[in-house]
């Protein structure tokens, strides 16, 4: 990789889907989310779509998303931010904003150190979620 290639923005789309509360119920994907994934797939044509979340989406619309959208991955987020500098973050939307900043920072570090590996769970690989 030469110096100029280090500054190419990767064609990757990131989504954040967080469980709205501390319940253990799986989050069902909606029709609007399906349309969003499909629209990104058809118009932006990313090399990868990465869904960052603390629960794997479920339901008919998620299954259809996985079938209709290529190169979609789920990355489990185990440390959803709950505070910033000691101040509590109550709204899930604000937690997602903080997570977005962490993701951008992590990608920046990753691009500067391409030898680092990430573990992505390929949805088309027939994995088991019972762990």
Per domain, the residue ranges of the chain are 4-21+30-125
CA nearest neighbour of 55 among 27, 28, 32: 27
Q: How far apart are CA 121 and CA 61, in angstroms?
A: 19
Token pair in block for residue 81:
């931010």
Q: How far apart are CA 30 and CA 85, in angstroms?
A: 34
Strand positions, DSSP E, 1-131 = 12-17, 48-53, 72-76, 83-84, 87-88, 121-122
Q: Considering only residues 86 and 107, tell me which one the structure prediction assigns the higher pLDDT.
A: 86
Q: What is the mean pLDDT of the chain?
A: 77
If you ran DSSP here, which 8-state letter would residue 113 be given?
A: -
Give the confidence band of 50 by pLDDT, cuts at 50, 70, 90.
very high
CA nearest neighbour of 17 among 90, 91, 74: 74
Q: Helix-strand-coil percent breakdown of the chain, rounded to 5?
A: 40, 20, 40
CA nearest neighbour of 56 among 34, 81, 29: 29
Give the confidence band of 41 by pLDDT, cuts at 50, 70, 90.
very high
Decide: 16 and 52 in contact? Cβ < 8 Å.
Answer: yes
In the numeric block, the tokens 């058809």 are attached to: 42
Threshold 0.75, pTM exceeds: no
């Amino acid at each position: 990789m030469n110096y100029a290639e280090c500054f190419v923005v990767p064609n990757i789309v990131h989504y954040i889907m967080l469980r709205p509360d501390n319940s253990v119920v799986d989050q069902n994907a909606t029709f609007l989310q399906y349309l969003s994934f499909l629209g990104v797939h058809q118009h932006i044509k990313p090399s990868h779509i990465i869904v960052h979340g603390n629960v794997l989406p479920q339901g008919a619309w998620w299954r259809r998303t996985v079938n209709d959208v290529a190169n979609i991955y789920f990355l489990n987020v185990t440390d959803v931010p709950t505070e910033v500098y000691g101040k509590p973050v109550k709204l899930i939307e604000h937690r997602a904003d903080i997570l977005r900043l962490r993701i951008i920072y992590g990608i920046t570090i990753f691009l500067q150190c391409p030898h680092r590996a990430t573990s992505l769970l390929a949805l088309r690989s027939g994995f088991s979620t019972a762990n």
